[in-house]
Amino acid sequence: MKKLQIKLKNNEKVYFLGDFHLGAPDKDQSNRRERNIISFLDSIKSDVKELFLMGDLFDFWFEYKEVIPKGFVRFFGKIAEISDKGTNIHLIVGNHDMWVKNYFTEELNINIHHKLINVIINDKSLLVGHGDGLGKGDISYKIFKTIFSNNLIKFLCQWIHPDLGIKIGKFFSKDNKIQENNNQSINNNNNNNNRLYDYCKKIENQSHNDYYVFGHTHLPCEKTIGKNSKYINVGDCIKDCSYLEINNKSYKLTKFNS
């Protein structure tokens, strides 16, 4: 497992946020969300030392050798600005952007993480990941992920014309968490939080971490694991606009204006 060591000074912070799903459910709503996220990123650029983007930045992302999905120029520009100031930016790949290759690294100097990582912030240990496919259950998704993360499938898909391939990808990646706000979707998100929480308890029994930080569920959540560990889900930047802020004194799950 990859390990990162971060030392914070008094005026420095680490931020965790994700599940933007830019591009969904339509252009107008996505553009408003993009501007809101950019406004938040602009507000933290003076004190952010490390920025963790917790996956599913886009509702669909696929990189051809010479082509990427169009749009999101303002978001890319703000990320480039923050990166150029010397901030380390990490993308924890999610289930909607599992086909990320090298574009973000080459153009924006973003560190890409496809698997769980261990982050040491001062003297605290964090296990960090997007959260999809972990824990018991959700068998249908695990089968889906195994198929679409296969290198042969990715190789074959890149030979589909981008106009058609991206349209097909957007069709399969439509996320009901954005388009629905009903009891069923809320229950599903709670189930995902419970699944991740149980997964963290199992890991804690094997190897201690002070914090377990995930996304994916679209519901901000804090739960204690034993006496000295805590599960934190950063939620999303769609309806809750929630994020985790860490300095050398505190860990705070909070929200910015939507």
Rounded distance between C-alpha atoms, residue 105 and residue 53, angstroms: 13
CATH number reported for the structural domain that contains residue 109 in this entry: 3.60.21.10
Residue 214 tokens read as 């995930």
pLDDT of residue 98: 85
**Which of 10-19, 147-156, 181-190 comes out lowest in average pLDDT?**
181-190
Asked if 201 contacts 181 with a C-beta cutoff of 8 angstroms, the reply is no
Mean pLDDT value across the chain:
90
Give the per-residue pLDDT at 180.
45
**In which band, very low, low, confident or very high, does the pLDDT at 164 lie, cut at 50, 70 and 90?**
confident
pLDDT of 181 > 70? The answer is no
Question: Based on the structure, what is the number of domains in the chain?
Answer: 1
Please report the pLDDT score of residue 186 as a whole number.
60
pLDDT digits 0-9 by tens, 102-117: 999 999 999 999 999 9
Tell me: pLDDT of 176 over 70. no
Bridge partners of 127, per DSSP, are 118, 212
Q: Whole domain around residue 207: which residue ranges?
A: 2-255
What's the whole-number mean pLDDT along residues 55-76?
93
State mean pLDDT over 190-216.
95
Compute the 3-state secondary structure of the chain and give helix, strand, coil in percent, each to the nearest 5: 35, 25, 40
Task: Give the span between the Cα atoms of 91 and 104, in whole angstroms.
Answer: 9
The per-residue pLDDT for range 5-38, each reduced to its tens digit, is 999 998 999 999 999 999 999 999 999 999 999 9
Kindly tell me the burial class for residue 163, based on how many C-beta atoms sit within 10 Å of its own C-beta (0-12, 13-18, 19 or more): exposed
pTM, rounded to two decimals = 0.92
DSSP-assigned letter for residue 161: -
pLDDT at 185: 61
- Using a pLDDT cut of 90, give the percent of the chain over it: 70
Residue that wins the pLDDT comparison between 177 and 22? 22
